[in-house]
Chains A and B, each alone.
Chain A
Amino acid sequence: MKADPKGVLTGAHYIDGDHACAEGAIAAGCRFFAGYPITPSTEAAERIASRFPFVGGTFIQMEDELASMAAILGASWGGRKSMTVTSGPGFSLMMENIGLGVMMEVPCVIANVQRGGPSTGLPTMVGQQDMMQARWGSHGDYAIIALAPQSPQESFDLTITAFNFSEKYRVPVLFMLDECIGHMTEKVVIPPAEEIEIEPRRLTDKPPGDYLPYETGKDLIPDMADAGMGYRFHTTGLTHDERGYPDMSVECQGKLVRRLMDKINNRVDDITIIRKEKIDGAEVILLSYGISARVSTLSIEKARKKGVKVGRVRLITIWPFPEKEIAKLADKIKAFIVPEINMGQISREVERVVAGKCDVISVPHAGGGVHDPEVILEAIMEAVK
């Protein structure tokens, strides 16, 4: 299905990553937004508030992030594409209901414009410290999708991808910006609506009598019915069977948890978005994401000038982690160098995946700023010594 022209501001714009995220959402068909103001994400909410009345969208500022997350789940069941935006403290409050979204299999998008933590931390300054919280933040075992943009343009493009993945896989998708990308203003080109591909909801075509809300075929993803369509279905955060009815058996739990994980993990190839550059013949590979990937550009150029063969991998899909892609590269290089604005979250994941086949050099930053390119350069030079 193509995007609705009413929501698409085709043309070239000079906007920041937060605004671009808002425009991406509207272009993707998002027509319900619930949120609670928090720096550095608020601009996205403000843009949606000002744009929604012209496109038939409903904006509501809730009393907190617990409510915001619950409201977007309800709204998605009500038949609208729904989203919220937040930052660290709000992301923490959303966790329980992100888990409910996973369990009920509710398409929706949560954007987290990351700032420095823990706690209130650095409200106006950058961090990438919620990457593991994105993966593991809600209790229980589950798989989830998380994407990280490195520019306002990508913030627009990938917000649409986030909505599409959420509908396709029936899972909340976490859109992991960082303060730098959120507040960075650049040219953003919004294409004509007919060039924007939109994933429609997987609505069931079965009549009410035959429909089981959590019955799945080979792809392990159930077809959906929205409230009010006449299916009179039940859904719960309790462990449930195909009818959506609670079933506290070990067998049902095993089947459900495995399916919730497999429906994502079996499709890593489809979900993986990764950018590779000068991988062939590389001695070392710089692997990063978001603003840290951008900051590394100068370091990579300097190292190459010094004659070091540096390849580059930029992760856009963070979760599910593109294990195969990364493991494949580990055989051929001396080391991965992983700069990120946290104390080594994704670098540990890389370490796990390469399993000793090459070195993994974490270049941590506690937050509040980006890396000094010289520090990254030193790490590269150290790796090839």
Chain B
Amino acid sequence: MSSKSTTKTPQAERVTTTEDIHPMTGFLRMDRMPHIWCPTCGIGTTVKCFAAALDKENYDLDKVAVVSGIGCTGRVAGYMKLDSFHTTHGRAIPFATGLHLANPELKVVVFSGDGDLIAIGGNHFIHAARRNIDITVICINNFIYGMTGGQCAPTTPLTANTSTTPYGNYEHPFNLPHLATSCGAVYVARWSALHIRRLTKSLQEALRKKGFSFVEVITPCSTLYARRNKLGTGLDLMNYYHDMCEIDHDVHPEDVDINFQENITLGKFVDIEKPTFLDCLEDGYKEKLGDKYLSVRSSHTRELVGHD
């Protein structure tokens, strides 16, 4: 609860009631509400779907950790009532890699923005996918840098206006599902903030998947992206998703480029089995070193820091 609502005004009472009845309060840090996201932003919707996915999959929440970088989406870590890490811009994936490898019992989820994960953090993204690190990456793609005021992102469609491309963007954007697929991700899907039922199901699948799973979520940023490009309100963007999104699970990820205000292909593009980095390492070491190999999953290593 914000410091403003500590006095017992009707407003404060209403917030308390909401806490009690909102189905996701168990997943959220209600003492941090209200959140910073703008009305009609798609991040909150995605958080709700993520919480619903954790709920449906019955995860032990003590064993789920969320790691974010910096940005509007980076704030997700701060609102999830999980072990939650708000790190540096671009470094959520390597931070998560260390966390996962140190304690493979944890379900580690990276939740961050397209600029964070794909621009400044792009190198980590491709290498974590290549290694098949057993983490889930949820990427909010709002086509723009939200937190810093609407600059061009590596996902900004050609010709779109941003504060650093005032006469239009002339860089080709990344096709994220194609990038993830070609780097070796074992689960790749794209949904929008409008498709909450499918998004939730997809997040459930991604969480369950062993290996590097990736879900891109197309979300409205009405404050910056829509305003600069005269696309109307958040509702207009949702209508755009409604009218222009096509679901096609069989399409090759190569063919799911997004062009300015043209159709967007959604779906689950990849769902394959492949041994993870840790599986490969453990099998290889067991074969090469036999009994002398001490498993990295053994509880022994944790005792060394003073855990008994």
Contacts and interface: CB of A to CB of B under 8 A. Distances in A.
Contacts of A71: 94-95, 97-98, 101
Contact of A81 (B127, B298, B304): B304
Interface string A218-247: 000000001111111111111000010110
Contacts of A231: 83
Nearest to B66: A234
Contacts of B77: 234, 236
A4 B304 contact: yes
A155 interface: no
B102 A232 contact: no
Interface stretch (A39-47, A56-64, A120-128, A282-290): A56-64
A203 B124 contact: no
Given A63-B127, A100-B87, A246-B78, A78 B304 contact: no
A97 B98 contact: no
Nearest to B284: A53
Contact of A56 (B103, B105, B295, B306): B295
Interface stretch (B42-50, B238-246, B264-272, B285-293): B285-293
A187 to B, nearest CB: 27
Interface in A253-289: none
Interface in A54-104: 54-58, 60, 62-64, 66-68, 70-82, 96-97, 100, 104
Contacts of A78: 98-103, 106
B233 to A, nearest CB: 29
Interface stretch (A27-35, A129-137, A353-361): A27-35
Interface residues on B, range: 35 or more
Contact of B86 (A34, A53, A227, A235): A235
B307 interface: yes
A74 B96 contact: yes
Contacts of A200: 305-306
A201 interface: yes
A234 B292 CA distance: 38
Nearest to B127: A63
Contact of A67 (B62, B63, B91, B106): B91
Nearest to A31: B301
A77 B82 contact: no
Contacts of B90: 66
Contact of B91 (A55, A56, A97, A229): A97
B9 to A, nearest CB: 22
B145 interface: no
A55 B307 contact: no
A74 B304 contact: no
Given A53-B293, A54-B289, A228-B103, A70 B98 contact: yes
B102 A79 contact: yes
Contacts of B86: 234-238, 246
Contact of B97 (A60, A81, A227): A60
A80 B67 contact: no
Given A31-B304, A54-B289, A56-B301, A235 B85 contact: yes
In terms of DSSP, what is the predominant structure of the interface of chain A? mixed
Contacts of B123: 63-64, 67
A245 B78 CA distance: 7
Interface residues of A, number: 59
Interface in B67-112: 67, 70, 77-78, 81-88, 90-91, 93-103, 105-106
A304 interface: no
A80 B285 contact: no
A1 interface: yes
Contacts of B302: 79-80
Interface in A344-380: none
A77 B78 contact: no
A6 interface: yes
A227 B65 contact: yes
A55 B31 CA distance: 43
B296 interface: yes
Given A4-B304, A67-B91, A245-B32, A233 B83 contact: yes
Contacts of A245: 29, 31-32, 78
Contact of A234 (B78, B95, B98, B100): B78
Contact of A58 (B62, B87, B96, B296): B296
A32 B101 CA distance: 8
A25 B257 CA distance: 48
Contacts of B100: 74, 78
Given A54-B292, A97-B88, A74 B95 contact: yes
Contacts of B85: 74, 77, 104, 234-236
Contacts of A63: 94, 123-124, 127
B56 interface: no
B101 to A, nearest CB: 5
Nearest to B68: A236
Contact of A53 (B61, B82, B289, B300): B289
Interface string B9-44: 000000000000000000001011000000000000
A79 B83 contact: no
B82 A232 contact: yes
Nearest to B120: A66
Given A56-B294, A56-B296, A82-B102, A232 B83 contact: yes
Interface of B: 29, 31-32, 61-63, 65, 67, 70, 77-78, 81-88, 90-91, 93-103, 105-106, 123-124, 127, 285, 289, 292-296, 298, 300-307
15 contacts: A6-B294, A31-B304, A57-B301, A63-B127, A67-B97, A71-B94, A71-B95, A74-B67, A75-B102, A77-B99, A81-B305, A226-B305, A236-B86, A237-B87, A245-B32
8 closest cross-chain pairs (CB), A and B? A78-B102, A200-B306, A74-B98, A71-B98, A75-B98, A67-B94, A236-B86, A74-B99
Given A232-B62, A245-B31, 16 more contacts: A1-B306, A56-B295, A57-B296, A70-B95, A71-B97, A71-B98, A74-B94, A79-B102, A79-B302, A200-B306, A201-B306, A226-B305, A228-B103, A232-B61, A235-B85, A236-B77
